[in-house]
């Protein structure tokens, strides 16, 4: 486990406040996993914002099942 690459988890919600700035910061970082709520996915599309993050996890359920991936380090 000592040789595993460390990653940063960044979550976006549906608020548009400082969204462009957050995406700019995320774009400048390496090894970022982006977690999107349903509302965040809608807002990104409405504003026409793009991201260049390799791994994106999008909430598609009303429960906390997707969080299991976070606990497992995936």
**Domain segments of the chain as ranges:** 8-71
- Note whether 46 and 71 are within 8 A (CB): no
Q: Tokens for 50?
A: 């793009």
Say what the pLDDT of residue 24 is: 92
pLDDT along the chain (74 residues), means of 10: 79 87 91 88 89 79 62 62
Phi-psi region of 31 (alpha: psi -120 to 50; beta: other; left: phi over 0): left
Q: What is the pTM of this model?
A: 0.70
């Amino acid at each position: 486990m000592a040789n595993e690459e460390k990653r940063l988890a960044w979550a976006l919600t549906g608020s548009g406040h400082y969204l462009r700035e957050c995406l700019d910061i995320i774009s400048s970082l390496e090894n970022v996993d982006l977690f999107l709520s349903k509302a965040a996915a809608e807002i990104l599309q409405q504003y026409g914002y793009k991201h260049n993050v390799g791994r994106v996890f999008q909430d598609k359920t009303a429960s906390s099942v997707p969080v299991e991936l976070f606990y497992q380090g995936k």
